[in-house]
Amino acid sequence: MKHLLVTLTMISGIALSSFATGSATENFVFGTPEVQSIHALTFGPEGVLFLGDSKAARVWALATDDTEAPAEMPTYRMDNVDEVLAAQLGVDANEVAIQDMAINPISKQLYLAVHLGDGKAILLLYKGGQFIPVAMENVRYSEVALENAVAEDATDRRGRPLRVWAISDLSFANDQLMVSGLSNQEFASTFRSIPFPFQTEQQAASLEIFHAAHGRFETYAPIKTFTTAEVNGKAHLIASYTCTPLVVWPLETLEPGAHVKGRTVAELGSNNSPLDMVVMNNGGERYVLLSNTNRALMKVALTDIEAFEGTMTDPVEERAATAGTEFIALPFVNVLQLDKLDDTNFVMLQRQANGNLALVTAGDRWL
């Protein structure tokens, strides 16, 4: 695998599309979206990029016009990403907080969402060995405000702000934008399914899980990361929470206004928070890859999830112990961001042992 050390240089920002590119953007407006934060990214049809803005409790859909397939699959490699970004943006490295990373499934181009110490949110595109600021003035966009979002001044039992979790993750499938996060309802953990192109309809279900590491059922903690996959012939939501239960729901059960109990199929260890989740496919075998704050990158076979009957109901009392569906710990620690290039290749942003924040491409040898 060829690795290139690349640097960031300042050039004019890449402009988003000023013209509709198809039916997905026909109801978009032309202007400047008032983006306050970017906590999550995901792609939809026709190169539409969704930005999860927890501060504004909105999702913005941007027409990127990024719809050309590459001649060959790119290989991403960059060292000292945080230091390079800091030097480019004129701040200290500790003022650069990378919020999310998303790869366009059509063009295979990589986007980063970054927050600076002053609260400014920046969208960046990796192109030609550089990170280029994406201009978001005078663009085509659409937006949807989340109903019953957690209040701006809400805090948890430890006094920590909860508004940041208004949107914890995003995904798109079957003409639906799926949004996990917190609401202001009694059962705060919420999963929304929003038809796209955006209309007035917004479906939300509240979620309940058995959290084995805590030994109780919970309804207040947000999903930290999720994906969708077919499990035993039906489309399922696969999600993980802090301390780290792995939970599944049939998507058909997540109906508007429903309160739905998930099926906990694994406890992956306490004192940890999941960060990103993707589904890979190697030779017909499907795997969930899960990155974490305090655990190595995990590989879980979907066949093992399918084979797990029922739900966990017994507490896992030993601190940091695991139970339920088995997993393999891959030799990648401190994987902070994760997304897939295709079914057999994935890209990681990894804090390596020497302190280097590296953008790395990995392939099917790990699947």
**Chain segment 43-58, per-residue pLDDT in tens:** 999 999 999 999 999 9
Overall average pLDDT of the 287-294 stretch: 98
pLDDT higher than threshold 70 for residue 6 = no
Lowest mean pLDDT segment, chosen from 5-19, 196-210, 284-298: 5-19
Predicted pLDDT of residue 95? 96
pLDDT higher than threshold 70 for residue 264 = yes
Predicted pLDDT of residue 7? 28
Predicted pLDDT of residue 18? 43
Overall average pLDDT of the 249-275 stretch: 96
Q: pLDDT, tens digit, for every residue of 70-129?
A: 999 999 999 999 999 998 889 999 999 999 999 999 999 999 999 999 999 999 999 877
Average pLDDT, the chain: 92
Q: pLDDT, tens digit, for every residue of 185-197?
A: 999 999 999 999 9
Q: How confident is the model at residue 14 (pLDDT cuts 50, 70, 90)?
A: low
pLDDT higher than threshold 60 for residue 150 = yes
Overall average pLDDT of the 142-150 stretch: 97
Overall average pLDDT of the 305-312 stretch: 97
Strand pairing partners for 111? 102, 125
Q: How confident is the model at residue 16 (pLDDT cuts 50, 70, 90)?
A: low
**How far is it, in rounded angstroms, from Cα 230 to Cα 243?**
25
Q: How confident is the model at residue 2 (pLDDT cuts 50, 70, 90)?
A: very low
Predicted pLDDT of residue 275? 99
Predicted pLDDT of residue 341? 98
Predicted pLDDT of residue 19? 42
Q: How confident is the model at residue 9 (pLDDT cuts 50, 70, 90)?
A: very low
Strand 357-362 to 40-43 pairing:
unpaired
